[in-house]
Amino acid sequence: SFKEYSVSKQEVSVGVVSPYKGQVGLIQDTFGNKYSNYSENGFSVSVRSVDGFQGGEEDIIIISTVRSNGNGSVGFLSNHQRTNVALTRARYCLWIIGNGTTLGNSSSVWRDLVRDAQTRGCFYCADEDNELEQAIAAALLETTPSDAAFNLESLRLALELTNARWKV
């Protein structure tokens, strides 16, 4: 989105939504503040909890579902109202980031969304897509240097040892 904005200079608003305050804080600290200087020029990033987005919308919404387990437990996102808010905040584009196994094993709309994304060819596995994996690694390296090595190693361990693949 930012690259497209840089070329077109068309106003773009991006919202990042997560069900948990801790995740919201981490995302805000890592990415949200990075783009705050561009808001006067028409590019804005807003990072809020699902409840914080109630009544608002952005051009692009990225939902971070956070949970990773094999039993399909999606935590706060099992609440239909929260799910409805999260899924209906985008004007033009919606990205859901999460663990495909967790979302796919849930007995909720999340399972249907995973299946629909797979059917339409809109389901991406981060550890099977070299460009996506490199983009994630680059984003992790932009964090503080002491966190970068830890984050990259954590990502490798999660992908190699647990075989729990993160899906986008």
pTM: 0.74
Per-residue model confidence as pLDDT tens digits over 131-168 = 877 776 776 666 545 554 555 555 554 444 434 444 44
Per-residue model confidence as pLDDT tens digits over 31-57 = 767 766 666 678 888 899 999 998 899
pLDDT of residue 143: 56
What are the residues facing 14 on neighbouring strands? Answer: 45, 60
pLDDT of residue 38: 65
Structural domains of the chain ordered from first start:
2-123 (3.40.50.300), 127-168 (no CATH)
**Under 8 Å between Cβ of 165 and 133:** no
